[in-house]
Structures are given as structure tokens and as C-alpha cells.
Amino acid sequence: MATWDDILTDRDKDVFALSGYGKKAGFGQRPAVLVIDVNYNFVGDRREPILESVKRFRNSCGEEGWVGVDNIQLLLAEARSKRLPIFYTTGHGEEGSVAFGRWHGKNSRGGEDFTEEARKGNEIVQEIAPQKGDAIVRKQKPSAFFGTPLMSMLNEVHADTVLVTGTTTSGCIRASVIDAFSYNFTVSVVEECTFDRGQASHKINLFDMNMKYADVVSLAETVDYIKGLPDNLFAPGL
């Protein structure tokens, strides 16, 4: 049973089945890994229940975020064994109110983003910290592509596929997936490597992306795919 089955109505299941949505697209040949916004602002600075974590980090996904970190760590180990290109996104950390734009229009605690703690919170979690050769993309909006050089970097490595991990499923993951789809990448969302502060939001957005924009794939399936890639796929000059 898919993780979203318990929140779908029978009507919805029938409609999408009859409409032909949800066909498996499969992986491409030259994948890159995207690690979206896995910083301390989104998981907190310790492993604790979300209702405790959000008291100090308003965007935290709590313990589910740390489970995601553990799974991303496993995926990155496999990706690095094949020298796949890895791209991280996070916030700038020094923005003023103009750069933040409309983020604060829907959150009563938005002023906390201007504190020193929040700025430091844009640091990528140490357990999956970037290594030499990885790229860090600073962004201000939900999509990893909007207003960033990510597309040109993916072109540089001739990627045709993105393996998407990180947070939040309903926000920056979804926005990045739709843009990647719009740029005609093959998109795979690694289920155990994504997380959200909202449980219903996580499930329904995985469902919707799987129906229209991406394959939602398991960590095990993704690891098997990576293991089967050539060792020299991203060797210089190829």
C-alpha cells in the first residue's frame, strides 16, 4: 500500500486510475542528486519531537526530519561511491525584508527569521554536510531553480535525471520537482529521504507528484539503480 492510500477517497483512486495518471517513467541515464534545504532551521538542532522543536525553530520538521537525514546519509554514500554530482540548497542567511519577499505574509512568527539563530540555522546538517566537489546553491524562494544557477550546473554535468531529497515535501520539494519536470528532466523523489512538518501535506503531495510530475521511489530502489550505474559515468570529459 502506498503511503498516501489512507487519505485518498475511493472516488479519487478511481478517477486517477481511469485517467491514466501515475505511469512509471523510470530512471534516466545520468542522474544528479538534489538535497533540498536540509539545514538546522528545518530539522532543529537536536533530535526531539516536532512540538518541542518548533518552539525554537519555527520551520522545523522535528524527529521525522532527522529520520530523513539518516536516510539521505545512506543515499549520499551510494551516490559518492559512483561520483554522482550532488547539489545542496539552503537559504542565504543575510537577507533583509525585501529579499525575504512574501514569506512573512502568512506566518505570524516570520520576524524570527532575522535573528542570528535563524541565520545560523541555514547551515546544512553536519551528518550530511557537503564534501569537496559538491555544489551549494543559495536560494530565496521555494524552487531550487528559481533565481539560481542550478540549471546551468546541471547542464554542465549533462544530467538528464534528478534524484530529489529533502524538505518540505509540500513546499520546496514540490516547487523544485515541478520546475525540474518543466525543464524536461526525469524526476525521481526518494520517499524516505523527503519530509514535511505536516503529515497530511507530505502524503498528498507525494501522491500528486507521483501522479503527474515524478516517480516517487523507495530508498532501496534508488540504491539499486545507483549501484547499477557505470563507475566512470561522470569521469572528466564524459
pLDDT value of position 189: 98
Cβ-Cβ contacts under 8 Å for 90 (sequence gap 6 or more): 37, 39, 122, 123, 124, 136, 137, 138, 139
How far apart, in whole angstroms, are the C-alpha atoms of residue 63 and residue 70?
A: 11
Task: List the CATH code of the domain at 5-39+70-94+134-227.
Answer: 3.40.50.850
pLDDT, position 114: 76
Kindly report whether the global pTM for this prediction surpasses the value 0.85: yes
Closest by CA to 234, choosing from 150, 129, 166, 134, is 134
Would you list the domain boundaries of the chain? 5-39+70-94+134-227
Let me know: does 194 contact 169? Beta carbons within 8 Å.
yes
Residues 6+ apart with CB under 8 A from 217: 188, 189, 190, 191
Phi and psi based region of residue 23 (left: phi greater than 0; alpha: psi -120 to 50; beta: remaining): beta
Task: Give the three-class secondary structure for 135.
Answer: strand
pLDDT digits (tens, 9 = 90+) for 76-118: 999 999 999 999 999 986 666 666 677 777 888 888 877 778 7
* The three grid cell numbers given for residue 219, joined into one nine-digit string: 530508498
Count CA atoms closer than 13 A to 162's CA, side-chain side.
30
The end-to-end CA distance of the chain, in Å, is 40
Question: pLDDT tens, 30-58?
Answer: 999 999 999 999 999 999 999 999 999 99
